[in-house]
Amino acid sequence: MGHPLKLNKSTIVKVGNLLPRLKHAVEPIKLINWLENFDESEVDLAIDLLSVYEYIPFNEFMFRLNDLLRELFRKIPRGEKIIIFPYGKVGKSGTLVTYPLKNTTVFEGRKKDILLTHDYENIKNPKEYKHFIFLDDFIGSGKTFCKVYSEENNIQNWIQNQEIENVFILATIVMAEGKKYINKRFKDVIIIAEERNKIFDTNLSPLKIFGNLSDIKNVTKKHGDNIRVGRFPAYAPFGFDNSQSLISYFHCTPNNTLPIIWGEQKDYWKPLFPRKANIRMNEAREFKKEIAFYIGICNRLAIDLYTGKSILEEKKDKLVRNRTHNTKQDHSVIALLFLKNQGYNDLIICHILGLTNKELKQIYKEAKDLGFVNTRKSITQEGVLFLKKLKEKTKKENFRKETKYSLRMRQEYELYIPKQFNGMT
């Protein structure tokens, strides 16, 4: 199944136009690999589907939360006590929302009124609180919330016993069907989230603009029927519970999203935004290798990583290498700069690089001593310039990163999309 993608000028333009839509979260070569899952006649349909895809990176995730929290707080007078409860299992997407939420300006402005907790049953003086907010990143079918809210010894009873006045759900996005499902069962729950409709809704789909909605749906089902996504059900071509979502986040892809985006089938299907943790960890590992590659090139060229000067010194009639900066610690400094330049938060940087907060502080200190970040932990102009110069230094030796695709494009066409470093050209 699938075919090698013909990289003519038209295809290159289409791929290039998709990259900003996907917030440069994937490299061109990965996007090409995904398009090669499809038959040749289906590629344009797949491109149209991605033209309405929503990818939400960390910084956008924060400002969405900030705006929605502001909307919610308009319903709550200042001084009234609020409980915010991430209702996903610890370590799941619902709990990952707490860090960016706490760092929004709206949260900071009302934090004296807020208790953010995973343990509502052990809250001291619970009757002081008038408002209860369930927190999640995304609501698909709505069934997870309803299960949590109504199970035996449930949180609904606890809320009623404490005479809490208002119950909210805060999420960045809710599917319209999921919102309807929750509101039908719990009319008093107020949902604050951006609403999205099923991607193949005949009346409300944004794909209608292309005039090929049914063709895209047929292709999605054709391949989705062959991508195993679980045990029960084994196949769900339109996402869990027929949610028909088309959304990914920096930290996960919901299983409500179409499996042709995140599913994986050996010798049949390569994912674009993987859902499985092991795939995402492998991608993080590859990121580290990319950074190490730059250091390796500088060592091969016998130049200092930061200054570009020779690291060869003459000692007793012999040339020896004095590697002042080309070390493991410098690997981390460069990785930090690349990720900061992409707008990633410290929490995500720690996850990608496998660092503790203490280790990250030390790397920030070294980067600051080098003039690459300032006291506010923002990358400086000198840091941006260093990244640019590093690429220039290593360009001649960068042949190992060329692929048959990029070489072919470089040779045949004036318009060239370079292989990107996690979105950085």
The residue to which tokens 């299992």 are assigned: 89
pLDDT in tens, 36-76: 999 999 999 999 999 999 999 888 899 899 999 999 999 99
Res. 275 pLDDT band, cuts 50 70 90: confident
Helices 404-412 and 28-35 pack at an angle, to 10 degrees, of 100
Average pLDDT (301-312) is 70
Res. 399 pLDDT band, cuts 50 70 90: very low
Helices 357-369 and 346-353 pack at an angle, to 10 degrees, of 100
Average pLDDT (295-308) is 71
What residues are paired with 56 via a beta bridge?
249
Instruction: Report d(CA 351, CA 250) in Å as an integer.
Output: 12
Instruction: Report d(CA 113, CA 397) in Å as an integer.
Output: 57
**How confident is the model at residue 88, as a pLDDT?**
66
**How confident is the model at residue 401, as a pLDDT?**
46
**How confident is the model at residue 312, as a pLDDT?**
67
**How confident is the model at residue 89, as a pLDDT?**
53
CA dist 362 → 281, 355, 357, 366 (Å): 24, 10, 9, 6
CA atoms within 13 Å, Cβ hemisphere of 59: 8
Backbone angles phi, psi at 162, to 5 degrees: -90, 0
Structure tokens at 340: 């900061």
Residue 269 in contact with residue 227, Cβ under 8 Å? yes
Q: Give every CB contact of residue 217 below 8 A, 6+ residues apart in sequence.
A: 200
Q: Give every CB contact of residue 354 below 8 A, 6+ residues apart in sequence.
A: 284
Neighbours of 365 (CB within 10 A): 11
pLDDT in tens, 3-16: 788 878 888 888 88
Domains and CATH numbers, the chain: 9-51+199-275 (no CATH), 58-196 (3.40.50.2020), 279-412 (no CATH)
Residue 373 in contact with residue 367, Cβ under 8 Å? yes
Q: Report the 3 state secondary structure along 140-199.
A: CCCHHHHHHHHCCCCHHHHHHHCCCCEEEEEEEEEEHHHHHHHHHHCCCEEEEEEEECCC
pLDDT mean across residues, the chain = 83
Average pLDDT (196-223) is 94
- The CB-based long-range contact list for 105-111 (8 Å cut-off, 24+ gap) reads 105/66, 106/66, 106/69, 106/70, 106/73, 107/66, 107/69, 110/73, 110/78, 110/82
